[in-house]
Structure 1
Amino acid sequence: MTSSVELVYQIGENENEMDLAGLYHFSQWSYDFQFMGGWVGADYVIGAGWADDIRGAGFRGEIIHFIPRENNSGSEKATVASTSADYTLPSSLYFHTSVLYNSHGKKGNAGRIAPFFNNQLSAKYLSFAQYSLFGQCSYSVTPLLSASISGIVNPNDRSWYFAPSLTYSLQNNLELMATSQLFFGKNSSEFSDIRQLLFARLK
């Protein structure tokens, strides 16, 4: 009743643009597990993940490994893993924390995040740092007003990102959100040279 199988195929002009992968999901010992494998572009891919509820707190994780299908493909081996936990108090105060590991990430200064916006990104490069720490806290101040704070820290180069946000319900089906994205770090660190940004959204 709780198991499922998925298969995905993407057509490409050549083998390096084709994707073929499968996923098997099942439940055991109150945990949800999934295993995946196949090839994505120039790489073979194998991975696993889990999710559980421990005394009301969500606990989940995933690991995936990329192996080049050919030695001269220009691709590199990579391992990406993450684990996270979240919990909501009876007062509606919500906490979420996560750790991301990237085998290709840098141990020192990770460099500016501007290259994030190029077209070479893939699941291999979810961050420039070898480790990234994420935290989030949100709370319904009133039935109409909610507040949220989230951030990411690169513990190696000590740069960090901070994003406070407020959402207010003006009337039925109309809300105003104001959020800022604040980046801090020394030169050549992951979150340096981006400055501070402020956004508003009417929805």
Structure 2
Amino acid sequence: MKYTACRIFYSTTVKSIPNYDELINEHNGVLPFEFLIVRNSNVIMSTIINRAYYLYTNEKMQFRAGRQKNNWGINTTWNLNDHFNIYNFDYEEREDAVRITYLPNYISSFDIASKFTDDWKTGVISALYKFNRLNYDFQFLMGKFYRKTSVCKDREGSIKNMVFKGKLIFFKPCDSNGSMNTSFSTSLDYSLKNRNYLTMNYLYNSSGSNKLSDTENSIFNSPNTEYPIPAKHTIMESASYMGSPIFSSSLINVYNFGIRCLTITPLATFSVMNNLDLDIIGQFFWQEFGTRSFQNIGNGICRRFKLSF
């Protein structure tokens, strides 16, 4: 099975960020499935094979090896129990891995997956058991994430008209170096009439900062399951509006306590044709510093055409 993404970038970002072509094609895997077709000071064209794997299934088991997507999280935003993909957003997740799934019955399953890398220290292997009890979904995960071992518990269920999700995860170094890290996230989702949607998320990260920073670079670090956000306490609020079958919009606000950083992201999606979507995305950042007051530190607006065929 194969799935290929072709991306064309034309913006001031291509000019302003050094080695931007290498940055967008960076992938911590072993299969050579990233290709740069065009690269110059104005335009970058990249082709990536996001899905290419061998699949075997029977009544109780599934085996899959190759480039694939392993998304184990159930949270709307921060999937702390997902060692492969921290965020549950619309992006083309991919990893070079092998995965075995066992299905003993219709309300439970057992998964084990291992990510291929060139170095054992950057490898990931995880086992996940999930089941349903008393109308609640439970997940338990154990594994190795880079140089640390992890244990995670996950729960999802309904509270009146809202959906509650909570997860707790611990990371412990495989050797004596480093320190233990704990993360906890919870969310409440509420569906309104006409398919409109509200959600609120809270995230705690014991290794996060609770102090003002003197640099703005810290909020743009690449996240992972152990360090999803640089702040110790974070809240996120979002609202989605379905205007019509061909138009939808959403607004996402993220505030990092301690480092006092605010991110506002509006999004509008238009269905131009049956297989062509247009996204208009804005990102606006504010932050307070130790020597400077709360201020705007950067903005961006982009358009994305997505053609499916």
Q: Check whether TM > 0.5.
A: yes
Gaps of 5+ in 1: none
Checking the alignment, whether the CA contact within 8 Å between 1:177 and 1:202 is kept in structure 2 is: yes
Q: Are 2:141 and 1:141 equivalent residues in the alignment?
A: no
| Structure 2 CA distance for partners of 1:29 and 1:164, relative to 1, 3 Å | same
Aligned residues: 199
Checking the alignment, whether the CA contact within 8 Å between 1:159 and 1:192 is kept in structure 2 is: no
Deviations 1:22-59 (A, max 9, x none): 11111111100011113223212111101112334221
**Residue of structure 2 in register with 1:152 after alignment:** 254
**Residue of structure 2 in register with 1:2 after alignment:** 107
- Residue type of the alignment partner of 1:125: Y
| Structure 2 CA distance for partners of 1:91 and 1:43, relative to 1, 3 Å | same
**Residue of structure 1 in register with 2:303 after alignment:** 200
- Residue type of the alignment partner of 2:303: A
| Structure 2 CA distance for partners of 1:97 and 1:112, relative to 1, 3 Å | farther
Alpha-carbon deviation of 1:13? Answer: 6.2
- Residue type of the alignment partner of 2:189: D
Q: Are 2:125 and 1:20 equivalent residues in the alignment?
A: yes
| Structure 2 CA distance for partners of 1:6 and 1:156, relative to 1, 3 Å | same
Instruction: Give the counterpart of 2:143 among 38, 41, 54.
Output: 38
Alpha-carbon deviation of 1:81? Answer: 1.1
Checking the alignment, whether the CA contact within 8 Å between 2:232 and 2:257 is kept in structure 1 is: no
d(CA) in 2 for partners of 1:163, 1:64: 28
Question: How do residues 122-201 of structure 1 correspond to structure 2 at under 5 angstroms?
Answer: 122-187=224-289, 194-201=297-304
Gaps of 5+ in 2: 1-105
Deviations 1:134-175 (A, max 9, x none): 111011223332221001001223320001111222333223
Alpha-carbon deviation of 1:180? Answer: 0.5
**Residue of structure 2 in register with 1:84 after alignment:** 187
Q: Which structure is richer in relative contact order (CA contacts within 8 A, separation 6 or more)?
A: 1
**Residue of structure 1 in register with 2:70 after alignment:** none
d(CA) in 2 for partners of 1:104, 1:110: 15
- The percent of aligned pairs where both chains have the same amino acid is 27
- Residue type of the alignment partner of 1:171: M
Checking the alignment, whether the CA contact within 8 Å between 1:16 and 1:41 is kept in structure 2 is: yes
CA RMSD of aligned residues (A): 2.5
Q: What TM-score comes out, normalization by structure 2 length?
A: 0.58
Checking the alignment, whether the CA contact within 8 Å between 1:112 and 1:193 is kept in structure 2 is: no
d(CA) in 1 for partners of 2:272, 2:240: 19
- Residue type of the alignment partner of 2:275: N
d(CA) in 1 for partners of 2:234, 2:132: 29
Task: Find the residue that maps to 1:91 and give its secondary structure.
Answer: helix
Name whichever of 163-172 and 176-185 sits farther off.
Answer: 163-172
Q: What TM-score comes out, normalization by structure 1 length?
A: 0.85
| Structure 2 CA distance for partners of 1:37 and 1:65, relative to 1, 3 Å | same
Instruction: Give the counterpart of 2:196 among 93, 116, 124.
Output: 93
d(CA) in 2 for partners of 1:91, 1:138: 11
